[in-house]
């Protein structure tokens, strides 16, 4: 076996790439579930397989995405991992599935958690990504008022410290 055949799949399954997402990306197998398609699409992003990403975008919403944007995102990011948080439907007998996931990546010096709730539909035996949305962020700590002490411990009011609006630099 070559190194590529032994490589672990980037999707997080801990299976060899050659028996996990690679056959789906290469078109020798269909994704049996919405989750399998999500994992293959993530792996395709790690490999900048833009054609696969576009082909698995539902025809109804495909014109909403840009080949150039996908390619730039895929190529300029270091992909750090995929976590599946919730799967609803999307099984071999379903026609629709929803998956909440986090795709972690580094872009420049920034690590980003891309949190998304994705909708998948099966059409004529093939799963497609339809659309995704970022769920609302819920605050877990109380909101800091402008006149409250700054949480950084400076002793200043929040509005005069970390909450101060920075003037844009002249660039």
Residue-range definition of the domain harbouring residue 122: 3-133
pLDDT given for residue 141 in this prediction: 65
More confident residue, 159 or 22: 22
Structure confidence at residue 26 as a pLDDT band (50, 70, 90): very high
Model confidence pLDDT, tens digit, residues 50-75: 999 999 999 999 999 999 999 999 99
In a domain, 41, yes or no: yes
Q: Look up residue 143 and give its two tokens.
A: 């909101």
In a domain, 138, yes or no: no
Give CA–CA dist 15/163, Å, rounded: 46
In a domain, 152, yes or no: no
Model confidence pLDDT, tens digit, residues 103-127: 999 998 889 999 999 999 999 999 9
CATH of the domain at 19: 3.10.450.50
Give CA–CA dist 101/84, Å, rounded: 4
What values do phi and psi take at 147, rounded to 5? -95, 5
In a domain, 140, yes or no: no
How many distinct structural domains can be found in the chain? 1
In a domain, 155, yes or no: no
């Amino acid at each position: 076996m070559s190194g590529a055949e032994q490589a672990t799949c980037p999707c997080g399954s801990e299976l060899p790439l050659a028996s996990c997402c690679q056959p789906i990306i290469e078109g020798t197998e269909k994704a049996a579930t919405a989750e399998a398609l999500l994992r293959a699409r993530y792996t395709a992003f790690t490999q900048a397989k833009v054609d696969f990403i576009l082909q698995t975008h539902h025809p109804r919403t495909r014109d909403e995405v840009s080949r150039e944007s996908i390619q730039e995102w895929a190529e300029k990011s270091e992909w750090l991992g995929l976590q599946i948080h919730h799967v609803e439907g999307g099984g071999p007998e379903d026609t629709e599935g929803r998956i909440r996931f986090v795709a972690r990546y580094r872009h420049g010096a920034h690590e980003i958690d891309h949190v998304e709730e994705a909708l998948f539909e099966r059409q004529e035996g093939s799963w497609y990504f339809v659309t995704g949305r970022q769920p609302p962020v819920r605050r877990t700590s109380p909101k800091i008022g402008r006149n409250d002490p700054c949480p950084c411990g400076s002793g200043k009011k929040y509005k005069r410290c970390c909450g101060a609006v920075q003037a844009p630099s002249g660039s």
